[in-house]
Copies of this chain bind each other. A is one copy, B any other.
Amino acid sequence: MLRNRLIDGVRRIKPILCGGQSLRSLSNGATSKLTTIEVDDRSGIATLSMNLPPVNTLTMELMHDLIDSINQIESNKSRGLILTSSNDKVFSAGLDLNEMLNPEVERLRLFWTRFQDLWLALHLCGLPTAAAINGHSPAAGCVLATACEYRVMLPNLFIGIHATRFSFVISKWMMNSYQSVLPRRVVERALNQGKLFTTQEALDVGLVDEIACSKEEALSKCAAFIATFDKTNPVARCLTKRMCREPDVRELLQDRAADLKECVDYVTTPLFQEGLCAHLEGLKKRK
């Protein structure tokens, strides 16, 4: 009953997204505040740009708009989705760590739930997805990239989940996302080290699929990847993708509350709060 469960899964997931809060309705369906959607009329491919200066930090609002945009692109039956950044230096700097510093628990629960929602929306998106990584992509920026099916990256950038460097312990589904792309041995070592890969290192281990010299070329390579599905049946493709990704999401979907509780319990420990404080101080000094 996997195929049926998967179809049901889609139905079940959607109402869960954003925990029952209504998504901001869009006037003309083309843009929301912090994201931009551009649909190429010839190819039918939608380019979704993160557009929150200065570094596309995944705030509550940016995540809201990303989920909204992904859903919109999916329901418009675009031919594919390319995730990129309006900012030429940073793809996304990752989660808004200020939400984790001395957090009010209810707000933290809302924040983490939204991140779960965003990852599920992208990881299980029925359309072909690709990331044109035109800037640094640390932490949750990397998690978003690995939730796509293909990654093209510009030279001399950094990508990776460096959570152990700011005392954070990622969730198992984030590890699964990494492991869907990298060998088991590479995953453990990189997560333990909090490794940030250069573009070339990322290509060598398979974390990215191609290097492009410009954002334009990256978008073009992503479009070429999406075109490799032209001869497939879109529904069969979507169900096959979800079958492949079902083991990655199974535990989270079966018990989202457990993942949430675990995150809240850890984030509110003095250990993490001290580590985060020191990390944020360090970032300030670098500026």
Chain A contacts to B: CB under 8 angstroms? 1-4, 128, 149-150, 163-172, 175, 179-185, 187-189, 191-194, 206, 228-229, 231-233, 235-237, 239-241, 243-246, 258-259, 261-262, 265-266, 271-272, 275
Distance to closest chain B CB from A240 (angstroms): 5
Contacts of A171 in B (CB 8 A): 2
Is A237 touching B164 in the complex (CB atoms < 8 A)? Answer: yes
* CB<8 Å pairs between A and B, sample of 22: A2-B172, A2-B258, A2-B259, A3-B262, A3-B265, A149-B192, A164-B232, A164-B233, A165-B233, A167-B233, A167-B236, A169-B239, A172-B246, A175-B244, A181-B185, A182-B185, A185-B206, A191-B240, A192-B240, A193-B228, A235-B271, A236-B272
Contacts of A163 in B (CB 8 A): 236, 240
Distance to closest chain B CB from A185 (angstroms): 5
Interface of A is mostly: helix
CB nearest to A182 among chain B residues:
B185
Is B266 touching A231 in the complex (CB atoms < 8 A)? Answer: no
How far is it, in angstroms, between the C-alpha of A229 and the C-alpha of B175 when the chains are bound? 18
Contacts of A246 in B (CB 8 A): 172
Is A164 touching B236 in the complex (CB atoms < 8 A)? Answer: yes
Please tell me how many copies of the chain the complex holds. 3
Distance to closest chain B CB from A94 (angstroms): 15
Which residue of B4, B169, B235, B261 contacts A265 across the interface (Cβ within 8 Å)?
Answer: B4
- Given A1-B265, A2-B259, A164-B229, 4 more A-B residue pairs with CB atoms under 8 Å apart are A4-B262, A128-B192, A169-B236, A192-B232
Is B169 touching A240 in the complex (CB atoms < 8 A)? Answer: yes
Is B262 touching A169 in the complex (CB atoms < 8 A)? Answer: no
Which residue of B168, B170, B232 contacts A193 across the interface (Cβ within 8 Å)?
Answer: B232
Q: A1-B261, A235-B271, A240-B163 are in contact. Are A180 and B188 (CB under 8 A)?
A: yes
How far is it, in angstroms, between the C-alpha of A272 and the C-alpha of B240 when the chains are bound? 13
Contacts of A2 in B (CB 8 A): 171-172, 258-259, 262
Distance to closest chain B CB from A18 (angstroms): 23
Contacts of A235 in B (CB 8 A): 167, 271
